[in-house]
Chains A and B, each alone.
Chain A
Amino acid sequence: MMPDYGAAVQFSIQKPSLVLSGIAGDSVDLRHAGSSIEMQDDAMIEEEKRLEQVKRIRRRRIQPEVPLGTRIRKDWNQYRFVYLIALLGIAYYVVFCYLPMGGVLIAFENYKPMRGIFGSEWVGLKYFNDFFRGHYFWRLMRNTVLLNAYDLVFGFPAPIVFAILLNELAGKTFKRLVQTVSYLPYFISLVVICGILIDFLSLDGLLNQLAGLFGATETSFLLDPKYFRTIYVASGIWQGMGYGAIIYLAALAAVDVQLFDAAVVDGCNRFQRILHVTIPGIMPTILIMLILRLGSMMNVGFEKIILLYNPSTYETADVISSFVYRYGLLQGNFSYSTAVGLFNSVINFTLLIFVNNVSRRVNNVSLW
Chain B
Amino acid sequence: MWSYGKKGIGSRVFDALNTGFMILLSVVTIYPFLFVLFASFSEPMALMAHRGLLLHPLGFSLKGYELVFNNNDILNGYGVTAFLVVAGTVLNMLMTILFAYVLSRRNMLWNRMLTVMVIITMYFGGGMIPSFLVIKGLGLYDSIWALILPNLISTYNLIIMRTAISAVPGELEESARLDGAGELRVLFNIILPACIPTIAALGLFYAVGYWNSWSSALVYIKSPDKYPLQLVLRSVLVQNNTGSMTSGEAMYQAGMAQAYTRLLKYSTVIVSIVPIMMVYPFLQKHFTQGMMIGAVKG
Decide if B245 is an interface residue (CB 8 Å cutoff). Answer: no
Of B15-23, B56-64, B190-198, the segment with at least 4 beta carbons within 8 Å of chain A is B15-23
Decide if B252 is an interface residue (CB 8 Å cutoff). Answer: no
Q: For residue B18, which residues in chain A have a CB less than 8 angstroms away from its CB?
A: 165, 168-169
Closest CB in chain A relative to B263 CB, distance in Å: 12
Decide if A46 is an interface residue (CB 8 Å cutoff). Answer: no
User: Which B-chain residue is minimally distant from A336 (CB atoms)?
Assistant: B129
The answer to whether residues A104 and B211 also contact, given A90-B114, A184-B30 and a CB cut-off of 8 A, is no
Q: For residue B262, which residues in chain A have a CB less than 8 angstroms away from its CB?
A: 199
Q: For residue A210, which residues in chain B have a CB less than 8 angstroms away from its CB?
A: 52-53
User: Which B-chain residue is minimally distant from A274 (CB atoms)?
Assistant: B14
Q: Do A86 and B114 have beta carbons less than 8 Å apart? A: yes
User: Which A-chain residue is minimally distant from B119 (CB atoms)?
Assistant: A368
Q: Measured between alpha carbons, how far is A104 from B108 in the docked complex, in Å?
A: 33
Decide if A128 is an interface residue (CB 8 Å cutoff). Answer: no
Q: Do A342 and B127 have beta carbons less than 8 Å apart? A: yes
Q: Measured between alpha carbons, how far is A200 from B123 in the docked complex, in Å?
A: 37
Q: Do A181 and B26 have beta carbons less than 8 Å apart? A: yes
Q: For residue A96, which residues in chain B have a CB less than 8 angstroms away from its CB?
A: 131, 134, 149-150, 152
Decide if A349 is an interface residue (CB 8 Å cutoff). Answer: yes
Q: For residue B231, which residues in chain A have a CB less than 8 angstroms away from its CB?
A: 191
Q: Measured between alpha carbons, how far is A101 from B125 in the docked complex, in Å?
A: 6
Question: What's the interface size class on B, roughly?
Answer: 35 or more
Decide if A72 is an interface residue (CB 8 Å cutoff). Answer: yes
Q: Do B95 and A92 have beta carbons less than 8 Å apart? A: yes
Decide if B130 is an interface residue (CB 8 Å cutoff). Answer: yes
**CB 8 Å contact bits of A184-202 with B (1 = contact, 0 = none):** 1101111110111011100
Q: Do A187 and B276 have beta carbons less than 8 Å apart? A: yes
Q: Which of A184-235 contact B (CB under 8 A)?
A: 184-185, 187-192, 194-196, 198-200, 206, 209-210, 212-213
Which of these, A86, A97, A196, contacts B121 with CB under 8 Å?
A97
Decide if A125 is an interface residue (CB 8 Å cutoff). Answer: no
Q: For residue A250, which residues in chain B have a CB less than 8 angstroms away from its CB?
A: 291-292, 295-296
Which of these, A104, A168, A177, contacts B130 with CB under 8 Å?
A104
Q: Do A349 and B15 have beta carbons less than 8 Å apart? A: no
Which of these, B1, B32, B123, B296, contacts A352 with CB under 8 Å?
B123
Q: Do A82 and B101 have beta carbons less than 8 Å apart? A: yes
Q: Measured between alpha carbons, how far is A136 from B130 in the docked complex, in Å?
A: 22
Which of these, B15, B36, B95, B114, contacts A170 with CB under 8 Å?
B15
**CB 8 Å contact bits of B217-232 with A (1 = contact, 0 = none):** 0010000000000110
Q: Which of B134-164 contact A (CB under 8 A)?
A: 134, 138, 149-150, 152-153
Q: Do B95 and A100 have beta carbons less than 8 Å apart? A: no
Decide if B87 is an interface residue (CB 8 Å cutoff). Answer: no
Q: Measured between alpha carbons, how far is A351 from B26 in the docked complex, in Å?
A: 36
**CB 8 Å contact bits of B24-42 with A (1 = contact, 0 = none):** 0110111011011000000
User: Which A-chain residue is minimally distant from B234 (CB atoms)?
Assistant: A191
The answer to whether residues A95 and B138 also contact, given A85-B101, A307-B238, A338-B127 and a CB cut-off of 8 A, is yes
User: Which B-chain residue is minimally distant from A260 (CB atoms)?
Assistant: B2
The answer to whether residues A88 and B95 also contact, given A101-B125, A210-B53, A302-B215 and a CB cut-off of 8 A, is yes
Which of these, A81, A101, A212, A264, contacts B126 with CB under 8 Å?
A101
Of A17-25, A56-64, A146-154, A322-330, the segment with at least 4 beta carbons within 8 Å of chain B is A322-330
User: Which A-chain residue is minimally distant from B153 (CB atoms)?
Assistant: A92
Q: Do B108 and A75 have beta carbons less than 8 Å apart? A: yes
Closest CB in chain A relative to B7 CB, distance in Å: 9
Q: For residue B35, which residues in chain A have a CB less than 8 angstroms away from its CB?
A: 206
Decide if A166 is an interface residue (CB 8 Å cutoff). Answer: yes
Which of these, B52, B134, B288, contacts A95 with CB under 8 Å?
B134
Q: For residue B102, which residues in chain A have a CB less than 8 angstroms away from its CB?
A: 82-83, 85-86, 89
Decide if A312 is an interface residue (CB 8 Å cutoff). Answer: no
User: Which A-chain residue is minimally distant from B296 (CB atoms)?
Assistant: A250
Besides the contacts A85-B98, A106-B130, A195-B265, what 4 more A-B pairs have beta carbons closer than 8 Å? A101-B125, A101-B126, A187-B280, A250-B291
Binding site for B on A (CB under 8 A): 71-72, 75, 79, 81-83, 85-86, 88-90, 92-93, 95-104, 106, 113, 162, 165-170, 172, 174-175, 177-178, 180-185, 187-192, 194-196, 198-200, 206, 209-210, 212-213, 238, 242, 246-247, 250, 260-261, 264, 269-271, 273, 285, 302-303, 307, 321, 324-325, 328-329, 334, 337-338, 341-342, 345, 349, 352
- In the complex, the 4 A-B pairs of residues with the closest C-beta atoms, listed nearest first: A100-B126, A103-B130, A195-B237, A89-B99
11 contacts between A and B (CB under 8 A): A96-B149, A104-B126, A165-B21, A168-B15, A187-B280, A192-B233, A192-B273, A209-B52, A238-B29, A247-B292, A269-B10
